[in-house]
Structure 1
Amino acid sequence: MDYKSLNHIQGKNGSRWTQFIRGIGTENLLMVAIDAAKYTHKALISTFYGEVLVKPFEFDASTPGLELIKQKIKAEKDRYNMIEVVVGIETTGHYYEDLVLHCQLEGFHVRTINAATTAEERRALLNWSKTDNLDLLAILQSMIHGRGTFNELPTGKVHNLQKLTRARRELVNERSAIKNLILVHMDHIFREFQGKTVWIDGKKEKIKPLSDNFGKASRYLMRYYPHPSDILELGEQGLRDLSVRENLKLRDSCIQCLLEFAKESISKPKEKVETDIFLLAQRLDQLDFLTEQIKVLERKIEDLFVQTEGGLLLSVPGIGVVTGAEFFAEMGDISDYCHAGQLIKMAGTNPIVKQSGDRRPSYFAISKQGRKQFRNITYHVGKSLAINNPKMNQKYHELIDRGKKSGQAYIALGNRMIRLAFSMIRNQTLYQTDEEKYVLYDEVNKKLHKVNVEHFFENFVVSPVSHPA
Structure 2
Amino acid sequence: MSEFLSDFVVGIDVSSEFSVVAMLEPNGSLIRKPFRIDHNPAGFNKLLAILKKEEERLKQKPIYFVESTGIFHLPLFFFLKSNDLKGFVLNPLCVHSTKNFNLRKVKNDAKDAEAIARLAKFQNVKYSLVPEPQILALRMLLREYYAISDMLTELKNRLCTDLYLLFPGYLDVFSDPCGKTSLKILRDYPTPQAILSESPDTLAKMMASTSRKGLIWGQKKAAKLVEMAQLCLSMPLEFSILSRKIQFHLDGIEMFQNNQVGLKEQLVGMISDVDFPKTVRESIALLESVPGIGFMTAATFLAEIGDFSRFHSPKALVAFFGIDPSVNQSGKFNGDRNKISKRGTRLGRRVLFTAALGSIRTTSKGDPMNPVLRDYYQKKCQNKKKKVALVAVMNKLLHYIFAVLRDQKPFEFRSPEDHQSWRNSNRSDLALVA
Q: TM-score if structure 2 supplies the norm length?
A: 0.82
Map 1:33-432 → 2, pairs under 5 A = 33-79=11-57, 81-126=58-103, 128-146=105-123, 148=125, 151-155=128-132, 157-194=134-171, 208-244=172-208, 246=210, 249=213, 250-265=217-232, 266-269=234-237, 272-273=238-239, 275-303=241-269, 307-353=281-327, 362=336, 364-387=338-361, 388-401=369-382, 403-432=383-412
Distance 2:118 2:87 in 1: 15
**Alignment size in residue pairs:** 396
Task: Say which SS state the counterpart of residue 55 (structure 1) adopts.
Answer: coil
Distance 2:284 2:303 in 1: 8
Distance 1:139 1:372 in 2: 24
Give CA-to-partner distance per residue, 1:355-405, whole Å, 9 cap, x none.
68999895722111222122222222211111132222111111112x222
Give CA-to-partner distance per residue, 1:244-278, whole Å, 9 cap, x none.
56557544443332222221223232xx3454222
Task: Say which SS state the counterpart of residue 326 (structure 2) adopts.
Answer: strand
Q: Which has the higher strand share?
A: 1
Amino acid across the alignment from 1:155? E
Please report how far the alpha carbon of residue 238 of structure 1 lies from its aligned counterpart in structure 2 after TM superposition.
3.9
Distance 2:66 2:109 in 1: 13
Amino acid across the alignment from 1:254? K
2:366 aligned partner: none
Amino acid across the alignment from 2:41? T
Please report how far the alpha carbon of residue 99 of structure 1 lies from its aligned counterpart in structure 2 after TM superposition.
1.9
8 Å contact 1:310–1:325 — kept in the other structure? yes
8 Å contact 1:386–1:392 — kept in the other structure? yes
8 Å contact 1:188–1:268 — kept in the other structure? no
**Gaps in structure 2 of 5+ consecutive residues:** 273-280, 362-368, 416-434
Amino acid across the alignment from 1:296? G
Structure-2 change in CA distance of 1:354 and 1:119 (3 Å): closer
Task: Say which SS state the counterpart of residue 352 (structure 1) adopts.
Answer: coil
Distance 1:313 1:399 in 2: 25
Structure-2 change in CA distance of 1:422 and 1:93 (3 Å): same
Structure-2 change in CA distance of 1:393 and 1:303 (3 Å): farther
Distance 1:357 1:192 in 2: 59
Distance 2:105 2:182 in 1: 55
Amino acid across the alignment from 2:42? P
8 Å contact 2:90–2:127 — kept in the other structure? no
Structure-2 change in CA distance of 1:179 and 1:128 (3 Å): farther
8 Å contact 1:310–1:425 — kept in the other structure? no
Task: Say which SS state the counterpart of residue 88 (structure 2) adopts.
Answer: strand
What is the root-mean-square deviation of aligned Cα atoms in Å?
A: 2.8
8 Å contact 1:162–1:329 — kept in the other structure? yes
Distance 1:360 1:133 in 2: 40
8 Å contact 1:34–1:44 — kept in the other structure? yes
**Gaps in structure 1 of 5+ consecutive residues:** 1-13, 195-207, 436-469
Amino acid across the alignment from 1:262? A
Distance 1:227 1:127 in 2: 66
2:8 aligned partner: 30
Amino acid across the alignment from 1:242? M
Distance 1:404 1:302 in 2: 40
8 Å contact 1:33–1:88 — kept in the other structure? yes
Please report how far the alpha carbon of residue 423 of structure 1 lies from its aligned counterpart in structure 2 after TM superposition.
1.1
Please report how far the alpha carbon of residue 154 of structure 1 lies from its aligned counterpart in structure 2 after TM superposition.
0.6
Task: Say which SS state the counterpart of residue 365 (structure 1) adopts.
Answer: coil
Please report how far the alpha carbon of residue 240 of structure 1 lies from its aligned counterpart in structure 2 after TM superposition.
2.7
Distance 1:312 1:357 in 2: 46
Amino acid across the alignment from 1:45? M
Amino acid across the alignment from 1:292? N
Structure-2 change in CA distance of 1:216 and 1:186 (3 Å): same
Distance 1:83 1:241 in 2: 79
Structure-2 change in CA distance of 1:395 and 1:57 (3 Å): same
Structure-2 change in CA distance of 1:128 and 1:432 (3 Å): same
Task: Say which SS state the counterpart of residue 122 (structure 1) adopts.
Answer: coil
Give CA-to-partner distance per residue, 1:299-325, whole Å, 9 cap, x none.
343455573422101112222222222
8 Å contact 1:89–1:113 — kept in the other structure? yes
Identity of aligned residues (%): 22
Amino acid across the alignment from 1:414? M
